[in-house]
A and B are shown apart, each in its own frame.
Chain A
Amino acid sequence: MNKLSPSILQTVSKPARYTGGEVNAIHKDLNTVDCKFALSMPDVYEVGMSNLGLKILYEIINNRTDTAAERVYTPWPDMEGKMRENKIPLYSLESYTPLNEFNFIGFTLQYELSYTNILNMLDLAGIPLFANDRSNDMPFIVGGGPCVYNVEPIADFFDFFILGEGEEVINDVISAFIAWKKETSTCDRHEFLRIAAKIPGIYVPAFYEPHYDENNNFVKITPKYDDIPAVIHKRVLADLDSIPSIEKPIVPFIDIVHDRLMLELFRGCSRGCRFCQAGIIYRPVRERRSETLFKLAEKMIDNTGYDEMSLTSLSSADYSCLPTLIDDLTDKYAGQKMSFSLPSLRIDSFSIDIAHKLQATRKSGLTFAPEAGTQRLRDVINKGVTEENLLDSCSAAFKHGWKTVKLYFMMGLPTETDEDIIGIADLAQKVVNLYKNIKNRRDVKVTVSVSCFVPKPYTPFQWFGQNTQEEFKRKQRLLKDTIKDKAINFNYHDSATSSLEGIIARGDRRLAKVIYNAYKNGAKFDGWSEMFNNDIWMQAFADANIETAPYNLRQREFAENLPWDHTSPGVNKQFLINEYKKAAAEQLTPDCRRGSCTGCGICQELDVAVTDWGEK
Chain B
Amino acid sequence: MTIFRIEISKKESLRYISHLDYANLLQRCIRRAKLPAAYSEGFNPHMKVSFASALALGVTTDAEYADIELTRDMCQPEFFDKLSSALPEGIQLLQAKKLNTEHPKSMNALADTAVYELIMPEDISSELINDAITKFNAASSITFTRQRRGKKAQKGRIVKKDIDIKNYVAVPLQYNDETHCLLLKLKVSPNGSIKPIEVLESIKNDHIADLDIFAVLINRKALLSQGQPLINISPR
- A residues sitting closer than 8 Å to B (CB atoms) are 5-7, 9-11, 15-16, 19, 21-23, 251, 253-255, 302-307, 336-337, 361-363
The reply to whether B32 and A305 form a contact with Cβ atoms under 8 Å apart is yes
Q: A251-B28, A307-B31 are in contact. Are A16 and B17 (CB under 8 A)?
A: yes
Can you list the 4 inter-chain pairs with the closest CB atoms, starting with the nearest?
Answer: A305-B28, A10-B214, A305-B31, A305-B32
The answer to the question of B235 belonging to the interface, with a C-beta cut-off of 8 Å to chain A, is no
Query: Can you name 22 A-B residue pairings with CB atoms under 8 Å?
Result: A5-B215, A6-B58, A6-B214, A7-B121, A7-B215, A10-B58, A10-B214, A15-B58, A16-B16, A16-B18, A21-B13, A21-B14, A21-B90, A23-B28, A254-B21, A255-B21, A305-B31, A305-B32, A306-B31, A337-B39, A337-B45, A361-B44
Please indicate the chain B residues that have their CB under 8 angstroms from the CB of A361 in the complex. Answer: 43-45
Question: What are the interface flags for B173-208 relative to A under an 8 Å C-beta threshold, 1 for contact and 0 otherwise?
Answer: 000000000000000000000000000000000000
CB of B25 within 8 Å of the partner chain: yes
Residue from A7, A11, A363 within 8 A of B43 (CB atoms): A363
Which B1-40 residues have a C-beta within 8 angstroms of A?
A: 13-18, 21, 25, 27-32, 39
- Expressed in whole angstroms, the Cα–Cα distance for A15 and B89 within the complex equals 18
A302: chain B residues within 8 A (beta carbon): 32
Q: Does B150 make an interface contact (CB < 8 A)? A: no
Chain B residues whose CB sits within 8 angstroms of the CB of A10 once the complex forms: 58, 214
B residues less than 8 Å from A255 (CB atoms): 21
Interface residue tally for chain B (C-beta within 8 Å): 31
Q: What B residues does A306 contact at CB under 8 A?
A: 28, 31
- Nearest A residue (CB) for B216: A6
Contact of B94 with A by CB under 8 A: no
Q: Which residues of B are interface residues toward A (Cβ below 8 A)?
A: 13-18, 21, 25, 27-32, 39, 43-45, 47, 57-58, 86, 88-90, 121, 212, 214-217
Q: A16-B18, A19-B15 are in contact. List 11 more A-B contacts (CB 8 A).
A: A6-B58, A6-B217, A10-B58, A302-B32, A303-B32, A305-B27, A305-B28, A305-B29, A306-B31, A336-B31, A363-B43
Contacts of A7 in B (CB 8 A): 121, 212, 214-215
> A5, A9, A21, A255: which has the most chain B beta carbons within 10 Å?
A21
A residues in contact with B30, CB < 8 Å:
305
Q: Which residue of B lies closest to A252 (CB)?
A: B21
Neighbouring B residues of A5 by C-beta, 8 Å: 215
Tell me the complex Cα distance, A362–B43, Å. 6
Of all chain B residues, the one with the shortest Cβ separation from A301 is: B31
Q: Is the CB of A253 within 8 A of B214?
A: no
Find out whether the CB atom of A304 lies under 8 angstroms from the CB atom of B28: yes
Q: Tell me, rounded to whole Å, the shortest Cβ–Cβ distance linking B115 to chain A.
A: 20
Q: Residues of A contacting B39 with CB < 8 Å?
A: 337
Q: Measured between C-beta atoms, what is the minimum distance from B13 to chain A in Å?
A: 4
Which residue from chain A places its CB closest to the CB of B28 in the assembled complex?
A305
Cα(A9)–Cα(B44), bound, Å:
33
Shortest CB-to-CB span from B146 to chain A, Å, is: 18
- Chain A, residue nearest B87 (CB): A23
Given contacts A6-B215, A6-B217, A304-B32, contact A19 B43 (CB under 8 A): no
Least Cβ distance of B182 to chain A in Å?
Answer: 15
What's the minimum C-beta distance from A305 to chain B, rounded to whole angstroms?
3
B18 CB contacts on chain A under 8 angstroms: 16, 254
Q: Which residues of B contact A11 (CB under 8 A)?
A: 214
Interchain CA distance A21-B10 in the complex, whole Å? 13
